[in-house]
Amino acid sequence: MEKDTVVKEKEVQRSDVVHHYLRPKKKFPNVWCAGCGNGIVMGALIRAIDKLKLDKNDIVVVSGIGCSSRMPVYLDFNTLHTTHGRAIAFATGVKMAKPRLKVIVITGDGDAMAIGGNHFIHACRRNIDITVVLINNKIYGMTGGQFSPTTTAGAFATTAPFGNYEKQFDIVKLASAAGASYVARGTVYHEQQLEKLIEGAIVKKGFSLVEVVSNCHTYYGRLNREGDAVAMISWMKDHAMPIQAAVKLPPEKMVGKFVTGLIHETDATEFCEEYDKLVQRLKEKEAQK
């Protein structure tokens, strides 16, 4: 306890940043496999928050169920680890009850796209000011390697032993079409870019989504012979194409590649602000009476 206070008082050095935002009382190591991308995302999130100089007390991190959703336990904010797929719905309640709080959702592809798909699109539609960091490793890690709505067609999973015959979601397109204000994609290889994308997402008023392409070498990599963590992360390096470059390339050059960066941004009205305007309007009407 005393140690925590001391850390708070002194100027946080860049090298201390991560420790400043981790829970001093939480026992480590974490639950993730060695080489997992989740830790990189956590680091990027912490650095983005630090850069924005936000008060730890004003940040709420909400998650659902899955490997990535275990992240809030380690973070020294207000944290809410909820039920499978419902993180965005819980976050909607938190944000509405106290709009001054910064609400960040950490979720995975199975959590947000399968069981939570409905909440996801409706939160985009409302354009409520929540930041969603969606870690996409294309598989259910925690339950042991079943296919998810983002598993590549033809890829193997424990519930797709003969190859996945389902088509996958393009999360970024889905969010843009549903009405999100800020839609970006990063990878765990491009850590500095990821940090900037998350920073931009937190600053942006309205619903922001950062899809993070990550690796599950334990299941996806092993079942699809994509190698270990290093091999999978190297693959991201070779196949990611920044949006600035991608728009100039002919379509045939983009085969097998994926776009990263800030992909879609608009300035639509935000849900809580609209609601507050209504409250204000009714108050004025009442006062006139």
Partner 1 sequence: MSNLRKGKVRLLQGNEACVQGAIYAGIDFYAGYPITPSTEIAEGLARELPRLGGRFIQMEDEIGSIAAVIGAANAGAKAMTATSGPGYSLMVENIGYAYMTETPCVIVNVQRGGPSTGLPTKISQSDTMQARWGTHGDYTAIALAPSSVRECFEETVRAFNLSERFRTPVTVLTDEVLGHMRELMTMPEPGELEVMERPKPDIPADWYRHFEMTPSMVSPMAAFGEGYRYNVTGLTHDREGFPTAVPSEINEKLNKLRKKIERFTDEIYKVRTEMMDDARIAVISYGTVARAAHQAIKMARERRVHVGAIQPLTIWPFPDPIISDALKNVKKIIVAELNMGQMVNEIKRIAPRNAEVFFLGRYDGEVMTPQQILDKIREVK
Query: Residue numbers of the site for partner 1 (CB under 8 A)?
Result: 1, 4-5, 23, 25-26, 56-58, 60, 62, 72-73, 76-83, 86, 89-98, 100-101, 118-119, 122, 275, 278-279, 282-283, 286
- CB nearer to partner 1: pick between 21 and 182: 21
- CB nearer to partner 1: pick between 100 and 248: 100
Residue 88 Cβ vs partner 1, minimum distance, rounded to whole Å: 8
Rounded to whole angstroms, how far apart are CA atoms 193 and 182? 15
Residue 101 Cβ vs partner 1, minimum distance, rounded to whole Å: 5
- CB nearer to partner 1: pick between 220 and 270: 270
Beta strands 208-213; 130-136: pairing state: parallel
- CB nearer to partner 1: pick between 173 and 283: 283
Amino acid at 266: T
Rounded to whole angstroms, how far apart are CA atoms 74 and 25? 9
Residue 7 Cβ vs partner 1, minimum distance, rounded to whole Å: 12
Integer CA distances (angstroms), 241 to 136, 191, 254, 257, in order: 17, 15, 8, 7
Query: Angle 87-97/271-288 helices, nearest 10 degrees?
Result: 30
206: three-class secondary structure by DSSP:
coil
- CB nearer to partner 1: pick between 4 and 267: 4
Rounded to 5°, angle at Cα 134 from 129 and 135: 155
Rounded to whole angstroms, how far apart are CA atoms 243 and 264? 10
Residue 5 Cβ vs partner 1, minimum distance, rounded to whole Å: 7
Rounded to whole angstroms, how far apart are CA atoms 48 and 17? 10
Rounded to whole angstroms, how far apart are CA atoms 36 and 137? 10
- CB nearer to partner 1: pick between 22 and 241: 22
Rounded to whole angstroms, how far apart are CA atoms 211 and 214? 9
Residue 150 Cβ vs partner 1, minimum distance, rounded to whole Å: 21
Rounded to whole angstroms, how far apart are CA atoms 61 and 106? 7
- CB nearer to partner 1: pick between 97 and 255: 97
Residue 13 Cβ vs partner 1, minimum distance, rounded to whole Å: 21
Residue 233 Cβ vs partner 1, minimum distance, rounded to whole Å: 28
